[in-house]
Every structure is written in C-alpha cells, then in structure tokens.
Amino acid sequence: MDTVIIGVAGGSGSGKSTFTNRLKEEFGDEIAVLYHDNYYRRRDDVPFEERKKVNYDHPDSLETDLLLKHLEMLKNGQSIECPVYDYSQHNRSDQVIVVEPRKIVLVEGILLLADPRVRDLIDIKIYVEADADERICRRIIRDVKERGRDIDNIVTQYLTTVKPMHYLYVEPTKSKADIVINSGLNQVALDIIKAKINQLLHPMIEEQAEQARREEA
C-alpha cells in the first residue's frame, strides 16, 4: 500500500482542526487521522500549576520524534498506539488510540511543518491562515468550552507564548506549504482536497467520472 500523508498546519485558532475534521467526517474510516497535539510531552514530574506555565507553542514541547516514528510505521503498513493529551490537566493521559494504516494519513498541528524530517514525510502540505484577531477569539471560545480553561489563563498564555511563538516558529512554515488557504471553512479548498483524496482512494471511479465528463462536453 502506497501511503499518502497530507499535513495541515497553521496558527492556533486558524481553522486547521475544522478543515481536518471536515475531511475526517467526509471520509470516515477510509483515512487515518493524527493530531500533533496528542504528542505533547508527558510531564508527570511537573506540578499542575507549573504545567500551566509551560511554553506549549515551542517545538520542544512536542515529542515529534514519536510522531515521526508513528508516521513511518503507518507508511509501512503497521498500526500504532497514538497517545491522548488531556488539555484540562496540561498533560498526556494514560489512554492511547489504536490507529490502523490507511492509504491516506491526515495529520494536523500548529508546528507540523517546523521539523524538516516531518516535512519530508508529508506528500501534500497545507497551511491554514487567519487574521490574528480571529484566531484569539476562536481560541478563547474553544478553550473555555472544550478544554476547561479560564479567560485569565487563556489571555496570559496567548500574550506570553502563543503570539510570540506564532511569529517565530509557526508563520514562517507557511512558505513550506504546497497550498495556503484562508479559512478552515473554505469550501473551494475543501472540494479540491476531497477530489484529490477521492482520486487517490478510488482511482478507477474517478477515471470513469472524468471520462463521463469529457463525453458530456
């Protein structure tokens, strides 16, 4: 099985998870999906209050070596045990998710394109961008509703680590992308990537559809 890895990067709150999840909903179990966030390092030896202060937007906060190993395993047709990150505890949980190899592997994360080793494994690199005001608003809503955070912690984290790390490590990776889109809700971009995935998953069906379109024209 020739595996194709599609990477979706972009700043926190840019809409990359929305874009990724829309593709996941479209293709279901036909594709495998990984989130770089799940590879935040385990910090059992660090007290909770100190874990809250960790710079989670620096590349060193992520166990990218493990992500790299898992991507290589999936490409080789092996299943993996993906870690699960608990945002409310600022730590990796004891749970794992078994991910089976698929023809298409979709992987998403803010710093996904920052490591050249990961970039080399990704066949199609997508960067989702959004205005800074939009990103912080989305982050506040998401972190309060989904991650059990309070406003003061969100704002402090944004100003001290998220914003400076974005300009230092995340935004420069936009130049590494094959495709740059302006929203996770961009329907045209979604349709293009859906068509590409369908072509890879069902080449015969797509060829027949294309032939039919040519005959109608």
Q: Tens-of-pLDDT digits for all 217 residues of the chain?
A: 689 999 999 988 888 988 999 999 999 999 999 999 999 999 999 999 999 889 999 999 999 999 999 999 999 999 999 999 998 899 999 999 999 999 999 999 999 999 999 999 999 999 999 777 777 777 778 777 777 777 877 788 888 888 889 899 999 999 999 999 988 888 999 999 999 999 999 886 656 666 666 767 6
Whether 105 maps to a domain, the answer reads: yes
Q: What's at 130, amino acid-wise?
A: A
Cβ distance 3 to 100 under 8 Å?
no
Domain count, the chain: 1
> CATH no. for residue 35?
3.40.50.300
Cα 23 to Cα 21: distance, rounded to the nearest angstrom: 5
pTM: predicted TM-score of the whole model, two decimal places: 0.87
- CA distances, 114 to each of 8, 59, 127 (Å): 12, 8, 12
User: Has residue 101 been placed in a domain?
Assistant: yes
Opening angle at CA 188, ends 172 and 213, nearest 5: 135
In a domain, 209, yes or no: no
Question: What is the domain extent for residue 97?
Answer: 4-185
Q: Is residue 205 part of a domain?
A: no
